[in-house]
Structure 1
Amino acid sequence: MTGPTHAPATVSRRALLRAGLAGAAFGATGCTGSAPPPRLVIAGGVRPGVYIALAKALAEIWQERLRLPAHPEVLTTAGSTQNMQLLTSGGATVAISQVDVAADIATGVTGPGAPLALARLYDDVTHLVVRRDSRFRTLDDLRGARVSIGPAGSGYQPIALRLLEVAGFGADGLGERAELGLGDAISGLRANRIDAFFWSGGVPTDGIRALAAELPIRLLDLGAVLDRMRERFPVYSVGTVPANTYGLPGPVSCLSVRNVLLVTAGMDDATAHALIDAAFDEQPRLARTSPAAVTIDSRSAIGTQPVPLHPGAIEFYRSTKGY
């Protein structure tokens, strides 16, 4: 994507993270216990994007509420796939990811590095953005077109590839395939270097909203392929982008995917409980980071399937919500 990417943490950092996690038996408020809380490294996302904004807000909340000895580090990454790679390799202690990517990468991972969820956050929708004055109206119209499917490491490149496959022509049926981050894709569409780009993000996504303010755009309606997509990949849902979101000609049917907040099985229960407790106690603060984050709600937070909840998160929901 547009920001620098980060390789998985070095061996020395991993050792420090493990040591911190092993000794982080502190109470749910972060104010009790003799051992210090762990060093937190949060795998965020691209700039501009909801992931990175949420990661920064969570870092501030956890620093203040849990009185961490060091401010959490927030990593700028390509997105879900890289975030999950960082989490499972020990390069991050917390990650935000689309649930489809998280489930795929979690398959077969066992032991302390196995990903577990703290909460469902909000839902992303897949944007397929074109210029409004272009000839493109449906996904099928992209045969032979210049299209950015998103960079390797992002969560939305797999969605783009799956949609193109379900549409019947795949990425090979494109005229030119680019793997641009959001910022470069926006610049490419503005300069007419590409015809369309995929993006999966909260509604609205600030970068696309800024583009729509200077260049009339259209989101391609995905209704013709959504049933087939969900039949093959049940993890996805159907959503709608309202017309007023980006000044669109009308509402658009789109693909929806849940985003989840994750840690690993190696995190002790008290730490996991404290993280999610502080996050939901400051939900209005999270909501101010982006309109997409307004929907973050502890009542729907347990919906992380097929990724299981961390035992510390389960205890939080049972003790506070009666689940």
Structure 2
Amino acid sequence: MVALAIAAVGMVALRGCREPVCDPVHYPPGGIRISTGGVDGVYEAYGQALEDVFHDELPDLTVHVDNSSGSVDNLGRLAAGRADLAFISADTAFKVPTLEQQAGAPAGRIRAIARVYDEYVQVVVRRDSTLQALSDLRGKRVSMGSEGSSVEITAQRLLDAAGMGNEKDILRRSYSVKESARQLANGTLDAFFWVGGLPTEAVAELASALPIRLLPLEQYVETLHRQYGSFYQLATVPAGTYAGVGDTRTAAVPSYLLASLRLDDDLVFRMTSSLFTHRQRISEAVPSGRVLDVRSAISTASIPLHPGAMRYYRSVKP
């Protein structure tokens, strides 16, 4: 009887195994939680795509996909043990030690699985508005992104660079990308900041219903790079990304998929393998998934790789 029970456990652990990745896997009781971002954002879409992939590759793993306010919120959830996987923008990584300390968590609990894609800073305005440059936002109604998001951090840094860092320089709002798009369409908002992959669904839907423009940010990228880190790079939102919007020079920053160190190494190994094995499938749901590359995925700066992810990268190294 005991032998039969042991055999049954082994079957559960290995069911859904795909060669050459067939390690026994420890599934957390109650499954895992993936903390993403706002509704209709790229993080949400990526999290849902991962849920589908894990359902096939790890059929005994229960996956919950949760919306959040964004990167800073996600880091807090990871530190507090309320999330197991999460997406963040690289420019919020500096908050990891503080958030772990606030949560009473051991230092180093937050680890990386991969650098997944680049996020583009987008300042969205109506095409018929008089706003042409960042400096034109003075005195205007501007959404800085949801509280607890990387958008809020990046927007503040850009306003500082443009000499508008004072609280009174703009009429600040704190809306998600979906709510920002709605308010811009309604005429109750003049502009909004967004930092995300291309295209972002909420912005694409807005552009299909209302002519929009993106403000150029090229002149501030060097300041961001110098003051805050080399992860800020000059980039272009290509023409046609959004209906009627031409090439726009802006800043880009990498995004990371993170994991809690509490997750079993074998499980994270399988998750990382699934991420790359199903890259094409993920990119069909999330166009930003096309740029996932094993060579750049390990570049997660100050956040060390999870041992399970590290083992995967070593296994595929030429």
- Name the TM-score class by shorter chain: 0.7 to 0.9
- Residue 101 of structure 1 corresponds to 92
- Residue 313 of structure 1 corresponds to 309
Mapping 1:290-305, distance limit 5 Å: 290-305=286-301
The answer to whether the 8 A contact 1:89-1:113 is kept is: no
Q: Structure 2 length normalisation: TM-score? A: 0.87
Give how far 1:52 is off. 0.8
Give how far 1:180 is off. 0.8
* Pair 171,47 (structure 1): closer, same or farther in 2 beyond 3 Å: farther
From 38, 44, 47, the counterpart of 2:39: 47
2: distance between equivalents of 1:296 and 1:72? 22
The answer to whether the 8 A contact 1:151-1:157 is kept is: yes
The answer to whether the 8 A contact 2:25-2:264 is kept is: no
The answer to whether the 8 A contact 1:28-1:274 is kept is: no
The answer to whether the 8 A contact 1:26-1:33 is kept is: no
* Pair 312,292 (structure 1): closer, same or farther in 2 beyond 3 Å: same
Give how far 1:266 is off. 2.5
1: distance between equivalents of 2:243 and 2:48? 29
RMSD (Å) for aligned C-alpha atoms: 2.3
- Larger radius of gyration between Structure 1 and Structure 2: 2
Give how far 1:181 is off. 0.9
Mapping 1:2-21, distance limit 5 Å: none
- Residue 8 of structure 1 corresponds to none
From 263, 270, 279, the counterpart of 2:275: 279
The answer to whether the 8 A contact 1:287-1:296 is kept is: no
Give how far 1:185 is off. 0.7
* Pair 25,103 (structure 1): closer, same or farther in 2 beyond 3 Å: farther
Give how far 1:25 is off. 11
1: distance between equivalents of 2:17 and 2:225? 39
2: distance between equivalents of 1:78 and 1:315? 31
Instruction: Give structure 1 stretches of 5+ with no counterpart.
Output: 1-23
The answer to whether the 8 A contact 1:44-1:75 is kept is: yes
The answer to whether the 8 A contact 2:126-2:184 is kept is: yes
Aligned length: 298
SS state at 1:61 partner: helix
The answer to whether the 8 A contact 1:26-1:270 is kept is: no
- Residue 255 of structure 1 corresponds to 251
From 121, 130, 137, the counterpart of 1:142: 137
Give how far 1:206 is off. 1.3
Matched, 1:85 2:85: no
Higher deviation after alignment, 290-299 or 118-127: 290-299
* Pair 27,215 (structure 1): closer, same or farther in 2 beyond 3 Å: closer
SS state at 2:295 partner: coil
Which letter maps to 2:312?
Answer: F
- Residue 196 of structure 2 corresponds to 201
From 119, 124, 132, the counterpart of 1:124: 119
SS state at 1:172 partner: coil
* Pair 36,197 (structure 1): closer, same or farther in 2 beyond 3 Å: closer
Mapping 1:159-198, distance limit 5 Å: 159-198=154-193
SS state at 2:76 partner: helix
Give how far 1:248 is off. 4.3
The answer to whether the 8 A contact 2:25-2:266 is kept is: no
SS state at 1:288 partner: helix
- Residue 65 of structure 2 corresponds to 74
2: distance between equivalents of 1:50 and 1:75? 13
SS state at 2:194 partner: strand
Q: Structure 1 length normalisation: TM-score? A: 0.86
2: distance between equivalents of 1:218 and 1:74? 32
Report Cα offsets for 1:213-271 as digits up to 9, x if no partner: 12111100001211111110113122110121123453111111111111122323222
- Identical positions, percent: 36
- Residue 18 of structure 1 corresponds to none
Give how far 1:306 is off. 2.1
Report Cα offsets for 1:106-160 as digits up to 9, x if no partner: 4684737621101011111011000111111111111111111011111211110
